A and B are shown apart, each in its own frame.
Chain A
C-alpha cells in the first residue's frame, strides 16, 4: 500500500487570531495619521482663538458662529446669515465641479485611447501622462503662471504671429484657475478610467453592434454603464482635491477667485491667522464632502440590488 487516505471531513486551520495581530500596525497608522488629526481638528474648531495664532482651551462655538452668522461690522446689529464664506464655498464647489467636468471630457477619450493601444505601448503612454507629476505641484503652478501672464511666452507667441493685438488677459481669471486645476488633477481622472476601460470586454461592443445598436447608443447603453465605476472614482479623485485646492486659486486667480483652500490656508498663516475658524471651515468642508460621498454610496448600493 503506497498511500492510504481516510478522512472524516476537512477543515482549515484558524488563522483569524494571527491575522488580527498582524493587522495591528495598520490600525496604528490609521489611528495616528487619519483619526487623530481629524479629531484634533474637530476639537480645535470648538476652542477660542489666541491672538498670535494658536488656541486657548476655552470651549466656544465662536468659529462656527463667525462662519454662518453676522451681526454687522461692530457686532451690535441683529443676527443675519453671513454670506461671505458661504459664497466662497459655493464658488469653490462650482469651480471644482467645472474642473471635474473638464477633466472628464478630456480624460475619458485619453484613457480610452491609451487602453485601446497595444499592451506594450500602454505603459509608455501612462508613463508620459505621469511625467509632469515628477515635478513639484508648486513649481508647476508657478511655471503655468509664467506661461500665461500678459508678457509670457503664450501671449508673446500669439502677438508675434499677429493673431491678437493686445495680450489675452488670462492671469487672475477663473479661466486661469480652471486651467491650473485641470492641469493638476487630470491624471486622477485618466488613471481610474483607464483601469476600467482596460478591463472592458470589447465583445460587449460587438454584441451591441450585432444587435443593431449604433456607435452612440453602444457608448450610452453599454460602455458607459460598464465603465461607470472608473468614471465615478475619477470624478471623486478630481472633485475632492479641487474643492480644497489653494495653490491654483492663489497663484493663478486673483482676489475674485478666492476659494475654500485659500481661506483655510490663510487662517493658519502667521499672526493674522485664526486657528479655530480655519479648523471649523475645514470641518464644514469635510462634512460637505462626506455628505456627497454618502449619497453616492447609497445610490450605488441601491443599484447593486437586482
Chain B
C-alpha cells in the first residue's frame, strides 16, 4: 500500500481463522487502519492478495465484499432513524421490507436497543450510537466484521462494559471479528489472537498470553503492558539460563531465549518483582506512586539503573518509604532478553 512515496504496509502476510476474534494492535500510524481499509475495500493494495474463504477479493469494490465495518466515529446516516440505519444493508441486498424490518428489530434486541428503533441517532448517547453501528454492521450477516477503534470515543466505564459485550457478541454470532486498536488492554482482554504492528510491519502474532509473556522483540515488549527495559551485558549462556550483568555490576540469571553474548536489552515486568525475599537485586526506593489497586515503587538499583516495581495495595504490609534500602526478588517469568 503506497501513499505517494511512503509505503504504509510492507510484506504483511497472515491468516485469520474462522470464528476468531483477531486484533490488529499498534501505535497510530503503524498501518493497522490501512490494513483494515484494504480488507474492507476502501484502499487498494499496490501488490498482493486478500483471500476470503479461498476467494480473492482484493480487486472487488467494497459493495461486493461480504464484510461489514463498524467505523471509528460510527458514520450513522444522519437522515435515517435507528431502524432504517440497521436495515440499510439488507435493503441494499434486496431483502423485502417486512423481512428486513424484522431482522433489524432482532439486531436491535441483541444490542439492547429495541425501544429506540424510531429515534434519530442524534438523540442517542455515544454508547448507544456505538451499539447501533454494531447492529447495522451485523445485520447483513457478514462473513467478517471489521471494527476500526470502535471504543475509542467512549468513556472508560462504557469502554470496559463494551469489551465484554463485544466478546460475547462475537461468540454468539460466530462471525470472525477483526478489531483494530491502539489500546493494548482492549486487545489483551478480548482477542483470541493479536497481531502487533509497527511501522507497516507485523512484529508478532500470537495469543494475548504469548505476546505478553514471550515478546519477540524490543518493540513488542515495550508496547504491550508496562516493562522495565535495561541495557545489560550477557556474560555466559548455560543451557536454558543466561548470566547477565546490569549497569551497576549486579549479576542475575534469566531465561536464555534469544540470548547472545554481548550487550542486549533485558525486559523486567514490574508486577513480577517483589520487595524483600531472597533478593536477586538490591536498590533504594526513590518514590511511591499510588495507583488505586496498585502501588508503583520507583527504585534505583545499585549502580544506577532505574527499576519500577508494581505491588498490590492489598498485599502490602510494611510500606517502604523513599530512601529505604530494599532487596528485590524476580519471580518466575519476570525477565526476558530481547531482540532489537
**Which one of A14-22, A165-173, A200-208, A244-252 contacts B?**
A200-208
Nearest-CB distance from B132 to chain A (Å)?
Answer: 12
> In the bound complex, do residue A211 and residue B79 qualify as a contact, i.e. CB atoms below 8 Å apart?
no
**Which one of A81-89, A131-139, A212-220 contacts B?**
A212-220
Q: Tally inter-chain residue pairs, CB-CB below 8 A.
A: 66
> In the bound complex, do residue A306 and residue B77 qualify as a contact, i.e. CB atoms below 8 Å apart?
no
In the complex, A222 has a CB within 8 A of chain B: yes
Which residues of chain A from 225 to 249 have any CB-CB distance to chain B below 8 Å in the complex? 225-226
**Which one of B46-54, B65-73, B262-270 contacts A?**
B65-73
In the complex, B134 has a CB within 8 A of chain A: no
Given contacts A209-B61, A209-B63, A217-B92, are A203 and B140 in contact (CB under 8 A)? no
> In the bound complex, do residue A222 and residue B77 qualify as a contact, i.e. CB atoms below 8 Å apart?
yes
In the complex, A77 has a CB within 8 A of chain B: no
> In the bound complex, do residue B120 and residue A213 qualify as a contact, i.e. CB atoms below 8 Å apart?
no
> In the bound complex, do residue B75 and residue A211 qualify as a contact, i.e. CB atoms below 8 Å apart?
no
Contacts of B123 in A (CB 8 A): 306
Contact among B61, B75, B120, B136 with A201 in the assembled complex (CB-CB below 8 Å): B75
| Complex CA–CA separation, A83 to B258 (angstroms) | 98
User: 1/0 per position for B70-94, CB-CB distance to A under 8 A?
Assistant: 0101011111010000001100110
| Complex CA–CA separation, A51 to B77 (angstroms) | 63
Nearest-CB distance from B72 to chain A (Å)?
Answer: 8
Q: How many residues of B contact A (CB 8 A)?
A: 29
> In the bound complex, do residue B40 and residue A210 qualify as a contact, i.e. CB atoms below 8 Å apart?
yes
> In the bound complex, do residue B69 and residue A210 qualify as a contact, i.e. CB atoms below 8 Å apart?
yes
In the complex, B41 has a CB within 8 A of chain A: yes
In the complex, B209 has a CB within 8 A of chain A: no
Chain A contact patch, size range: 10 to 19
> In the bound complex, do residue B118 and residue A306 qualify as a contact, i.e. CB atoms below 8 Å apart?
yes
> In the bound complex, do residue B92 and residue A203 qualify as a contact, i.e. CB atoms below 8 Å apart?
no
11 residue pairs A–B, Cβ–Cβ below 8 Å: A203-B75, A204-B75, A207-B76, A209-B62, A210-B67, A211-B88, A211-B89, A213-B63, A214-B61, A222-B77, A225-B79
In the complex, B321 has a CB within 8 A of chain A: no
> In the bound complex, do residue A210 and residue B61 qualify as a contact, i.e. CB atoms below 8 Å apart?
no
Contacts of B75 in A (CB 8 A): 201, 203-204, 206-207
Task: Give 18 A-B pairs besides A207-B69, A221-B88, A306-B81 with Cβ atoms closer than 8 angstroms.
Answer: A204-B75, A206-B75, A207-B71, A208-B77, A208-B88, A209-B41, A209-B62, A210-B67, A210-B68, A210-B69, A210-B137, A211-B136, A212-B63, A212-B89, A212-B92, A213-B88, A306-B120, A306-B123
> In the bound complex, do residue B69 and residue A213 qualify as a contact, i.e. CB atoms below 8 Å apart?
no
| Complex CA–CA separation, A183 to B63 (angstroms) | 39
Nearest-CB distance from A170 to chain B (Å)?
Answer: 42
Given contacts A212-B89, A212-B92, A212-B93, are A206 and B62 in contact (CB under 8 A)? yes
Contacts of A217 in B (CB 8 A): 92
> In the bound complex, do residue A212 and residue B120 qualify as a contact, i.e. CB atoms below 8 Å apart?
no
User: 1/0 per position for A116-146, CB-CB distance to B under 8 A?
Assistant: 0000000000000000000000000000000
| Complex CA–CA separation, A217 to B40 (angstroms) | 19
> In the bound complex, do residue B79 and residue A213 qualify as a contact, i.e. CB atoms below 8 Å apart?
no
In the complex, B59 has a CB within 8 A of chain A: no
> In the bound complex, do residue A213 and residue B92 qualify as a contact, i.e. CB atoms below 8 Å apart?
yes
> In the bound complex, do residue A306 and residue B88 qualify as a contact, i.e. CB atoms below 8 Å apart?
no
> In the bound complex, do residue B77 and residue A214 qualify as a contact, i.e. CB atoms below 8 Å apart?
no
| Complex CA–CA separation, A59 to B62 (angstroms) | 70
Which residues of chain A from 180 to 206 have any CB-CB distance to chain B below 8 Å in the complex? 201, 203-204, 206
Contacts of B61 in A (CB 8 A): 209, 214
